[in-house]
Amino acid sequence: MLLALKDRNDALKSFKGIGKIKLRDKNIFHAVRVAWLGTRTGKLRIEVLDVSGRPAASIASDGKWFYFLSHAEQRFYKKRAADPSLKKIVLIPVKSSDIITLLGGRIPIRDHNSVSIIKDTFGHTLVLKAGFGNIREKIYLDQSKTTVYKIEMFDIFGSLTYRAEFGKVQDVKDYRIPFRMKLSDDKDKSFQLRIDRYWADVPVSPPKFVLTPIE
C-alpha cells in the first residue's frame, strides 16, 4: 500500500493552476485568488492576485533560495533555504516540498523505520513510526485502500504539525488531482485551497522561480 502511494502520479513532472485560498486564524478569515507553478524537482512559485487579476505578491523557491515580493509595497525579501517553511504565509507549518507534493496529487512520506495498519469502519490507517517509536505520519485510506482522504504529520517528538484533508478528486490527463484541500493544526488555524483550473506537464524554465526587486 505504501509503495503504491509513493508511485502515485510519479510521471507528473510539472504543473500549474489557478484557484482560491481561504486562511483562517481562529475567527478571522481572509480569502484571495492565487496562481501557482511547480516542478517535481522542488521548485515552486505562487502569485497572490488582486481583484483585477494582477499579482499583488509573489512567492518563489528555486531549491536554494526563498523569495518574497510585495508588488503593492515594493518590498523584497530573499533568504537561503532549500526547503522553506510557508508558515508565515499560509499559517500552517508546512514545508515547500510538502506543498509541491500535495499540489502534484501525491502524498508526502516521512522517514520511518516501521509501518503498521489499523482497520476501522471508515477504512484503513497506515501509521509510520521512527526513532524511539514516535509517530511521524498517519495516512487515512478508504475501504478500497486506494483513496487517501486525510493525512496527519508529526514532528520528531510525536506532536502534530498539521493535517491535510482532500476532496473532489478529478482526472487531469492521466493523473488524479484533489481539487479541494484543507490543511489545519490544533490551534484553530487552517488553509483551504479550491482549484478552479489545473494543467499538467507544462513547460517551465528556471528563471520563473527566481524573483528580483522592483526597479
Per-residue pLDDT of the chain (215 residues; tens, 9 = 90+): 888 898 999 999 999 999 999 999 988 999 999 999 999 999 999 999 998 889 999 999 999 999 999 998 889 999 999 999 999 889 999 999 999 999 999 999 999 999 999 998 889 999 999 988 899 999 999 998 889 999 999 998 889 999 999 999 999 999 999 999 999 999 999 999 999 999 999 999 999 999 999 87
> How are beta strands 75-80 and 160-172 bridged, if at all?
unpaired
Grid coordinates 509541491 are at which residue? 100
Residue 5: what are its φ and ψ, rounded to 5°? -70, -40
DSSP H helical ranges for 28-161? 87-90, 96-103
Domains of the chain, with CATH numbers? Answer: 2-209 (2.50.20.10)
